[in-house]
Structure 1
Amino acid sequence: MNEQSQSRPATVRVFIALAPPDDAKEELARELAPAYAAYPRLRWNRIEDWHITLAFLGELPVATVPLLQPPLAALAAASRRLGLALRGGGHFDERVLWSGIEGDVEGLRLLTKEVRDVIRSCGVAFEDRPLRPHLTLARARRDDTSSVVELAASLAGFTGRTWEAERLHLVASNVGRGPGPIHYRDIAAWRFGAGPS
């Protein structure tokens, strides 16, 4: 390791999210099963990585991440579970396929605001984009402008079961610079309404 890489602070790409339970994800995966075979060139997200992003923080110094954990844990303990469902589909710019979110969307917006307030109170700067509740499923390659649009239309009639978001997740992503898939891992997760044990 050279001197320059030793002096550069280590960073991690971080976001805060909710995750549907496995059976709700499997319900949508069954709906998508024909599409996996029909559209092999799409870059499909792994089902275990499906999530609803509340706040994307980007690259943070590793030392900053522990500062976020106590206030996020306290927020989760003071918050109620939200009843949500996966419904329909859509796309961003003909390249990103997503499933929509319905149910207690107002509760989701309030939780998002509270999460972002916590982040700001920790002195972390981030791009405060408007919340567009969705679950990203796949991305098209640059030369493909039809697959995502066709799939979004085919998901229009999908309505998943209602489920409760049980935990708030602080997530790290290992975004490679190559063509490989993006993988995520929980740094920490806290039950809603759990309180101190």
Structure 2
Amino acid sequence: MRLFTAVLPPPDQLAELAAEVDALLRLPGADALRWTGRPGWHFTLAFMGEVDEALLPDLRTRLARAAHRTAPFPLRLHGSGHFGQRTLWTGAAGALDDMRLLGERSDAAARRAGIPMDEHRAYHAHLTLARARTGVHADLRPFVDGLAHFEGARWQVSELALVRSNLPAGGTPGEGPRYETLDTWPLGQGG
């Protein structure tokens, strides 16, 4: 099963973002993008890829420990950006160092549980909103500009989530992965 750890924004903050994205969907060129499903909006912390189910008990124990060692922290959805001409995202503002630390602890927990992790990359907090369709050149500037001044309401990140990514099985064009939260652990409980 394909797994990753994540910070999941609360429903009120997701609703704020959804209102902004609804405005972007009315811009010319929006149909050249494959928009991510709103139930899947999240900040990935550590991507593990395919994980043997036999490793899950130890992984869960280690992720619980990582969460408990990390104090809750403030965050808000903020601004926009893009990776090349392929990916549109909104970012985060607040205690980004704390979120980065939670990601590093998640990565270390996975390694210690026996999961081979990719080489460590610099963490860039982002929530993917859309990707250019394959073979289509998309101008992301109007969408980045449309979200540039977005400032979501602050919330307190209080848990770490383990999420399963279910890749599309059918041949439906534009179908994206479905995400299933397998477990969550409260932050800052000691231990």
- Structure having the higher Rg: 1
The count of corresponding residues between Structure 1 and Structure 2 is 185
**Root mean square deviation, CA, Å:** 1.8
Q: Residue in 2 aligned with 1:3?
A: none
C-alpha offsets along residues 141-172 of structure 1, whole Å, 9 cap, x if unaligned?
12433343321122111111111112101110
* Amino acid of the structure 1 residue aligned with 2:3: V
CA contact (8 A) 1:85 1:163 kept: yes
Q: Residue in 2 aligned with 1:97?
A: 88
* Structure-2 separation of matches of 1:158 and 1:47: 17
TM-score, length basis structure 2 = 0.89
Worse overlay, 71-80 or 45-54: 71-80
State the percentage of identical aligned residues. 37
1:16 matches 2:5: yes
Q: Residue in 2 aligned with 1:172?
A: 164
Q: Residue in 2 aligned with 1:36?
A: 25
Segments of 5+ residues of structure 1 without an aligned counterpart are 1-11
Q: Residue in 2 aligned with 1:111?
A: 102
**TM alignment of 1:175-194, pairs within 5 A:** 175-176=167-168, 178=171, 179=173, 180-194=175-189
Worse overlay, 89-98 or 178-187: 178-187
- The secondary structure found in structure 1 opposite 2:31 is coil
**TM alignment of 1:102-181, pairs within 5 A:** 102-127=93-118, 128-176=120-168, 178=171, 179=173, 180-181=175-176
State the 4+ residue runs in structure 1 displaced beyond 6 angstroms. none
Segments of 5+ residues of structure 2 without an aligned counterpart are none
Worse overlay, 148-157 or 129-138: 148-157
